[in-house]
Structure 1
C-alpha cells in the first residue's frame, strides 16, 4: 500500500515500509555527469580542489583529466535510495563505499542497486550498490543502509 502526504499544497508519493520491501529487488539508473552538475557541487560546497575542474592542472596528475568528486557519486546513490528503494520518507543511516577508479567529466555511469537484506524488527534494509562506467568497469561499489518510511500511529 503506497501512501501519500500533503506537502505545500501538493500530494507527494511516500516510499514503502520495510514490510513491503523484498530481498532481490533491483534498480538500474544511468547518469551522465555534466559540467552544470560539477559547477553546482563546487558552488554549494565551496570545494576548490583544482583536480575537479581545471583541465590544465589535472593534465599534470596521474588522473590526466578532471575527476568527478566522489561525494557527488555518493549523492547520486543516496538520492536513488531516497527516491526509489525504499523511497520518500526513508532515512539513510550508513554507507560503506569503495571508489575503485576515478570517474571523469562527461562519463556515463550505470548505477545498480539491489536489496540484499531486510530487517523488519529494526526497520532497516541494506542495499548493495555498484557504479559501472561506459567501459564496463566497476568504478565504485559498496552498501547503503536505510530505514524505510515509518508512519507514527495515532
Structure 2
C-alpha cells in the first residue's frame, strides 16, 4: 500500500521554451502485432502485403494511431514526463511510415503558460530517410508538484 512515490516529470516552473527531446524507435513486427491484437484493427493496409502492393503505398504501413501511441508515450515519459496529460493534439501525417521503418520524434516546448498550467509542444516525426511522417502541436498539462500530506487543512482532524 505504501510504495515509494514515483518521480515526476518537469513541472511548469521547470519548463522553458526551447526545451527539446529526441527519441528513436525501430518498428518491428512484434510492435505492430501487439498493437493490432490489442485494438483488433485488421485493416489490410497494415498487415496484408499482397493488398498493400496494389495500393499507392506499395507496402504495409504503420497504423497512425500506433504512431500516436509512441508520441503520447514520449509526452508522458520524457517531455514533460510522468504526471503530465495531453489536453489537445493537432497532428498530420504527410507521408506513411512503413513496416520495419524507424521513427525519430523531436519534441520541443514552444510555449509555457503558467497561468493556465499548460505548455505547447511541437512535434516532428521522421523516418529513416529523413522524410516527415508526422507533424503537429500538442497542448499539455505538465505534472503538478507533490504536496505534503499535511498540505490541506483538516487532514489529521480525526487524530
C-alpha distance in structure 1 between counterparts of 2:27 and 2:68, whole Å = 13
Aligned residue for 2:69?
75
CA-atom RMSD in angstroms? 1.4
Q: How many aligned positions are there?
A: 148
Could you tell me which residue of structure 2 aligns to residue 20 of structure 1?
A: 14
TM-score by length of 2: 0.88
Number of the residue aligned with 1:113: 107
Q: Which runs of 5+ in 1 are unaligned?
A: 1-6
Once residues 8 and 90 of structure 1 are traced to their aligned partners in structure 2, the CA distance between those partners, rounded to angstroms, is 22
Residue 15 of structure 1 deviates from its aligned partner by 1.3
Aligned mates of 1:16, 1:25 — CA distance in 2: 11
Matched with 1:52 is 46
State which of 27, 36, 42 in structure 2 corresponds to 1:42.
36
Deviations 1:93-119 (A, max 9, x none): 110001000110000121111000000
Q: Deviations over 1:70-114 (max 9, x none)?
A: 011111111101011111010111100010001100001211110
Residue in 2 that maps onto 1:128:
122
CA distance in 1 between partners of 2:24 and 2:143 (Å): 25
TM-score by length of 1: 0.91
Q: Which runs of 4+ in 1 moved over 2 A?
A: 7-11, 151-154
